[in-house]
Structure 1
Amino acid sequence: MKKISLMNAISPKGTAIFDDTYVCEEKAENPDAIMVRSADLHDYAYPENLKAIARAGAGVNNIDLDGATDNGIVVFNTPGANANAVKELVFAGLLLASRDLFHGMEWVNSQQGSATLAKDVEKQKKKYAGNEIAGKTLGVVGLGAIGSKVANTALHLDMNVLGYDPYLSVDSAWKLSRWIEHKTDLKDLFANADFITLHLPLLDSTKGLVNKETIATMKDGVKILNFARGGLVNDDDLLEALDSGKVALYVTDFPDGKLAGHPGVIGLPHLGASSEESEENCAVQAAKELRAYLEEGNIVNSVNMPNVSLEMRMPYRVGVIHTNTPKVLSRITDILSKDDANIENLLNKSRGDVAYTILDLDTAPAEESLEAIRALRQVMRVNLFEKDKA
């Protein structure tokens, strides 16, 4: 019986993916795998039996990736599962920023009990009229699962769309409309966009991407939307730009104490992926990723290990997570050959300093052989998968 530890409330549609060979428990002890949404696992002591962590969402900032990798623990996320929910909220943000609906609604709510509200509306509405988004230029920074959806939808709303992504994947490129103007220089996008929307992961290279220097390259009166990660924007520099009028408005799903209440900030309480449908999609995808790994050793959508997928046709499979260094593979095969087991299929892939090898065998490897592989100093984890027990 495999044990799944639920570190947050997980949609029942996700846990229903596991069959009766699994048990799902809240914060279970010594689990085979973890499903998590927002719980902070940086101080979590990894149990010896833990093989995988699945984040039901895209961001993995709440997980100690280095520690997981060192312990041979595969960390998954669910890219694209929440893309539609975030995309829809981005367009709500665009309309809030363009038509000043937010302050208009605030004024209406302040008029409770007014006998002259219907008349006063006609005088007041000019303050909140704003502009249409049709004909305006939207700069989309990051063209992954969410950014590509935002860019394509903006075209249908008659916006001009500029896109920037130096790491654009082939799959994402296929999904983009040919009418999106692809920029190779971020400064060029900043200089020509009326609205800028951020769809990037938070990395050392992207932290504080919007700062005093980059804001200076933007149009006067630009409006910035951030439904990706709060750390992409330098709050102090942004507030200075808001006060000077360089930036007209900032719409963010990641408000903090510095930003809350500023007249140029519309802050939302991290609602991006919080729709019922999104939470269900993320939970289902995370559960499928865990089953694929725990049952057959296949890795799909990992953020810290190479993605490796091979149909399991033989009765036994050995999965080895190891350092990406010379001669490791030959040492593994030499050990298994002593069992007179024939390696029917072998697949090895690397990701930076880490490699993953799966070996399909026609007979069961001896436990002594598996222990010998585990004893190799380059090896972090060895798992045995049996087809009839999947």
Structure 2
Amino acid sequence: MNTKTLETVKTIKTLNSIAESGLKVFNENYILDDNSENPDAIVVRSFNMHSLEFGTKLKAIARAGAGVNNIPIEKCTEQGIVVFNTPGANANAVKEIVLTTLMASSRNLFAGVEWAKSLDGKGAEIPKLVEAGKKQFVGKEIKGKTLGVIGLGAIGALVANDALDLDMDVIGFDPFISVDTAWNLSRNVQRAATLEELFANSDYITVHVPFTDSTGGMFNKETFSIMKPGVHILNFSRGELVNEQDIAAALESGRVGKYITDFPNENVLKMKNVVPIPHLGASTNESEENCAIMAARQLKEFLETGNIKNSVNFPNTSLPYTGKRRVAVFHKNVPNMVGQITSAISSFNLNIADMVNRSRGEYAYTMIDIENKINGDVTPKLEEKIKQINDIVITRII
């Protein structure tokens, strides 16, 4: 257990190359120091942080992207370190590559291009060879076909809506769809009651869910047997969602027509009818800038006001910041915790102007604005008094 306070100048460390447009979010109250051993916050992309030891000042980590498998979430939570991600910032980039590969693979474009390049050196015979050989690449139009979209978050919803505009029928499955996403999703997207229903009725399937214990290997021998023969599967989420041994067999038999994946490895590259994409899903200049800006803004907001948005381990919590001194406490989600914190504040004859409390599983986050001006000598005493309460993880006075 430790207690930290917000300092006047805060140090930001980056563990990957971060777009300059994101770093510009930090003003003169911040120092960008990639060599700092004890920063206030870290901005990261794909750097593996699992073996890192965190300094005592570290308050937050922002992942400029959606996936956080490279960050030790449980360790951060236990140490009171907020972990942010940037859902939706790269959604358009991923949507575009999903639709691009959906059409290109359906028309056998990738194989056709490689074959055409192999004709180099044939001279005047090339036009005749092209006309004679193009029959082997006859493909299918996607118009009128059914696309199954698993996961209707920021990316899945965009894919579903745009696929409708391409005259496809769209089936969606997401038991955890948010209200905001539901508002943005076309009413013409059909709702599948189960994954099995989606599998059985889709000509193409694209998946947009995180890798968890429940989603790992969700594409396997049993689920392939439910699908239409020749189905195309697009995976721009995580390679671990697909059982490699089972999909190799399904591709060999023709049960799965094509597997388009953003996560090639040695096993995948040996499979029949695989379209390997070199992890380009979110690799656009615009996406990298959007993610960097969003990550930086979320860090800055938290460091300056305590407000939390898009955290993967703390509850999202917001309280309008009016400039009053604010007590921000991360603690175990146990009875009478808020009462103990307010009692500690009242013991210094301080009045509460506003407050908010939000919980997430075993933990909770409380912010309390103080009506009175707090003298400098009171701040460390108040911090220490709150620190003495059982099950307090971290306290900041802003």
Q: TM bucket by the smaller chain?
A: over 0.9
Cross-structure match for 1:9: 17
Give the whole-Å Cα distance in 2 for the aligned partners of 1:38 and 1:97. Answer: 28
Give the whole-Å Cα distance in 1 for the aligned partners of 2:106 and 2:321. Answer: 53
Measured against aligned partners, the alpha-carbon deviations of 1:337-366 in whole angstroms (never above 9, x if no partner) come to 111111100100001111000000022253
Shift of 1:27: 4.3
Root-mean-square deviation (Å): 0.9
**8 A Cα contact 1:219 1:246, kept in partner:** yes
1:348 aligns with 2:361: no
1:339 aligns with 2:348: yes
Which AA in structure 2 matches 1:380?
A: V
Q: 1:18-57 alignment to 2 at 5 Å? A: 18-57=26-65
Give the whole-Å Cα distance in 2 for the aligned partners of 1:102 and 1:25. Answer: 44
Cross-structure match for 1:368: 381
User: Which residue among 220, 240, 244 is the counterpart of 2:229?
Assistant: 220
TM-score (norm 1): 0.97
Cross-structure match for 1:303: 312
User: Which residue among 76, 91, 105 is the counterpart of 1:68?
Assistant: 76
Secondary structure in 2 aligned to 1:120?
A: helix
1:101 aligns with 2:109: yes
Give the whole-Å Cα distance in 1 for the aligned partners of 2:384 and 2:318. Answer: 24
**8 A Cα contact 1:299 1:309, kept in partner:** yes
TM-score (norm 2): 0.95
1:160 aligns with 2:169: yes
- Unaligned ranges ≥5, structure 1: 386-390
Change (3 A) 1:306 1:135: same
Which AA in structure 2 matches 1:383?
A: R
**8 A Cα contact 2:93 2:287, kept in partner:** yes
Shift of 1:25: 2.1
- Unaligned ranges ≥5, structure 2: 1-8
Give the whole-Å Cα distance in 2 for the aligned partners of 1:261 and 1:239. Answer: 9
Measured against aligned partners, the alpha-carbon deviations of 1:279-311 in whole angstroms (never above 9, x if no partner) come to 000000000000110000000000001000111
Give the whole-Å Cα distance in 1 for the aligned partners of 2:230 and 2:363. Answer: 46
User: Which residue among 254, 258, 262 is the counterpart of 1:253?
Assistant: 262
> Which range moves more in the overlay, 145-154 or 234-243?
234-243
Which AA in structure 2 matches 1:355?
A: A
Change (3 A) 1:27 1:195: farther
Shift of 1:262: 2.4
Secondary structure in 2 aligned to 1:346?
A: strand
Q: 1:182-331 alignment to 2 at 5 Å? A: 182-331=191-340
> Which range moves more in the overlay, 368-377 or 167-176?
368-377
Give the whole-Å Cα distance in 2 for the aligned partners of 1:257 and 1:241. Answer: 18
Which AA in structure 2 matches 1:179?
A: N
Give the whole-Å Cα distance in 2 for the aligned partners of 1:284 and 1:164. Answer: 31
Give the whole-Å Cα distance in 1 for the aligned partners of 2:221 and 2:140. Answer: 27
Which AA in structure 2 matches 1:30?
A: N
Give the whole-Å Cα distance in 1 for the aligned partners of 2:33 and 2:251. Answer: 47
Question: Does 1 or 2 have the higher relative contact order (CA < 8 Å, sep 6+)?
Answer: 2
Report percent identity of matched pairs. Answer: 50
Cross-structure match for 2:3: none
1:78 aligns with 2:82: no
Aligned residues: 385
Which AA in structure 2 matches 1:359?
A: I
Cross-structure match for 1:134: 143
1:175 aligns with 2:184: yes
Change (3 A) 1:42 1:111: same
**8 A Cα contact 1:339 1:366, kept in partner:** no
Shift of 1:213: 1.1
Measured against aligned partners, the alpha-carbon deviations of 1:26-76 in whole angstroms (never above 9, x if no partner) come to 242200000000000111111110000000000000000000000000000
**8 A Cα contact 1:6 1:28, kept in partner:** no
